[in-house]
Amino acid sequence: MDCLFCKIIKGEIPAKVIYEDEKVLVFEDINPQAPVHTLVIPKKHISTLLEITGEDNELLGYLFQVANSIARDKGIADKGFRLVINCNREAGQTVFHVHLHLLGGRTMSWPPG
Ligand code: AMP
- The pLDDT of residue 42: 98
Residue 63 phi/psi, 5-degree rounding, is -55, -40
| Spatial distance between the Cα atoms of 110 and 5, rounded to a whole number of angstroms | 28
pTM greater than 0.95? yes
How many whole angstroms from 4 Cα to the centroid of ligand 1?
A: 9
The strands making up 100-104's β-sheet, listed across from edge to edge, are 17-20, 24-28, 36-42, 100-104, 81-84
Residue 99 is a catalytic residue: yes
DSSP annotation of 81: E
How many whole angstroms from 111 Cα to the centroid of ligand 1?
A: 22
State yes or no: pLDDT of 11 exceeds 80. Answer: yes
By C-alpha distance, which of 49, 57, 36, 18 is closest to 101?
36
- The pLDDT of residue 113: 83
Residues with CB under 6 A from ligand 1: 4, 13, 15, 27, 29-31, 39, 86, 92-95
Indicate the pLDDT class of residue 1, thresholds 50, 70 and 90.
confident
Q: Are 45 and 71 in contact (CB under 8 A)?
A: no
| Spatial distance between the Cα atoms of 71 and 24, rounded to a whole number of angstroms | 15
Q: Which tens digits make up the pLDDT trace of 28-79?
A: 999 999 999 999 999 999 999 999 999 999 999 999 999 999 999 999 999 9
Out of 37, 45, 97, 99, which one is annotated catalytic? 99
Atom of ligand 1 nearest to the CA of 85: 3
